[in-house]
Amino acid sequence: MPIPDEKRMSLGEHLDELRRRVLAALLGPAAGFAVCFFLLRDHLVYAILNPRYPAFLKLDAPALTFNLASPYDAFVTAMVVSLIAGCILTAPWSLYHLWAFVAAGLYEHERRHVRSFGAVSVVLFFSGAAFFYFLIYPVAVAFLYGFARQYNEFAAAWGHGVSTIEPGTLLGGYVHFVMVLMLVFGLMFEMPLVVLFLGRTGLVDVATFSRYRRHVVLILVIVAAIVTPPDVFSQVALSVPMWILYEAGLLVLRWTERRKRREAGGSSS
């Protein structure tokens, strides 16, 4: 039953609230894009192209020369980086307005659950993006470009006047590789929340999750193969953390269900 002091909105009021919240949610990324493009774009592009933290330097990643595919390639790349960075930085603002719209149709106890989910989702997203940037990114670059280095060492040892491979890379393609994978890792780190949400809402129970674990792992591997570049390293680097996070979400779901059963048993006695 509705709580007496909670006002229930009509359909027209919901639509008006949706319009206002969508406009407000879009205003954040637009402002974030403007700030990133006009004030931070050089810093952002530099951070992507020239990581300087110890993990990257320790792997002896190759010095890359970036090429432009067209006269406007650098401009478009700066815009894309600024847009994605603006969306990431203002994600809490957009999530707040999404939450505010959803909360208008919920009871207070439902709002508490959504609030906790929203806060955790932001932390998980940034954790996934940081996991890629600080751990996977340097290893991926060193691993993938390492094949060219191995060939050059072979050519220097065994050949005379043979061709060598220089790591000249298209600027747009490289930045797209880094930014897209950063977003993908951020989204895939939401896996525990997906498992917990499905379990808490009763759509899927713990027994079903456990029974179809192998099927889920296969689906995760397929998803990783689709959203990552066509190399085994990137696919493994994404699918293994997704599997671990799936198991973590399952553990949390088991714990919450056991606690719920204990509370129900205590209240009945």
192 contacts 249 by C-beta, under 8 angstroms: yes
Asked whether residue 26 falls in the same domain as residue 88, the answer is yes
Asked whether residue 44 falls in the same domain as residue 140, the answer is yes
Number of helical (H) and strand (E) elements in the chain, helices listed first: 12, 2
Asked whether residue 28 falls in the same domain as residue 118, the answer is yes
Q: What whole-number distance in Å separates Cα of residue 186 and Cα of residue 121?
A: 10
pLDDT score at 167: 67
pLDDT score at 3: 42
Query: Which of 154, 182, 210 lies at the terminal end of a domain, its last residue?
Result: 182
**Which range of residues forms the domain containing residue 135?**
11-182
Tell me the pTM: 0.75
- Which stretch of DSSP H or E encloses residue 65? strand 65-67
**Three-class SS state of 70:** coil
In this structure, is residue 269 part of a structural domain? no
Per-residue pLDDT of the chain (269 residues; tens, 9 = 90+): 344 445 566 667 778 888 888 898 899 999 999 999 999 999 998 888 877 666 566 656 566 778 888 888 999 999 999 998 998 888 888 878 877 777 766 677 667 767 777 778 888 888 998 888 888 888 888 777 777 777 777 777 776 666 666 767 888 888 888 888 888 888 888 888 888 878 877 777 788 888 888 888 898 888 888 877 777 777 888 888 888 988 888 888 888 888 777 777 666 55
Q: What whole-number distance in Å separates Cα of residue 149 and Cα of residue 71?
A: 30
196 contacts 252 by C-beta, under 8 angstroms: yes
Q: What whole-number distance in Å separates Cα of residue 94 and Cα of residue 89?
A: 10
Q: Which residues pair with 170 in a beta bridge?
A: 67
248 contacts 225 by C-beta, under 8 angstroms: no
36: tokens are 């990133």
pLDDT score at 75: 93
In this structure, is residue 2 part of a structural domain? no
**Three-class SS state of 67:** strand
Asked whether residue 219 falls in the same domain as residue 177, the answer is no
Asked whether residue 124 falls in the same domain as residue 30, the answer is yes
Q: How many structural domains does the chain have?
A: 2
DSSP E strand stretches across 64-172: 65-67, 168-170
